[in-house]
Amino acid sequence: MIDDEDDPERYPLRPDELARVRQMLMAEQRTIWLWATVRVWATWVAAVALGATVGWDALKRIVGALR
C-alpha cells in the first residue's frame, strides 16, 4: 500500500522541489552531452593517430624501396 505522503496526486511537488528536479535533469543532460563529445573526440584522435602511423610506415617503405 502506498503511503499518503508518497501519493503524487495528493501531494504535488512544491516549486522549490520542481526547480531541484529541473536542475538534476539539466545536470544529467550535460553529463550525457559531455561523454558523447568525449567519445567523438577520442574516436577522431584514434583515427588521426592510426592514419599517421600507417602513413609514416608507408612513407618509410617507399623511401626504402627507392634506395
Cell numbers 626504402 label which residue? 64
**Model's pTM, two decimal places?**
0.63
The tens digit of pLDDT for each residue in 2-60 reads 566 677 677 888 999 999 999 999 999 999 999 999 999 999 999 999 999 999 999 99
Supply the range of the domain harboring residue 26: 4-66
Query: CA nearest 43: which of 55, 33, 35?
Result: 35
Q: How many domains does the chain have?
A: 1
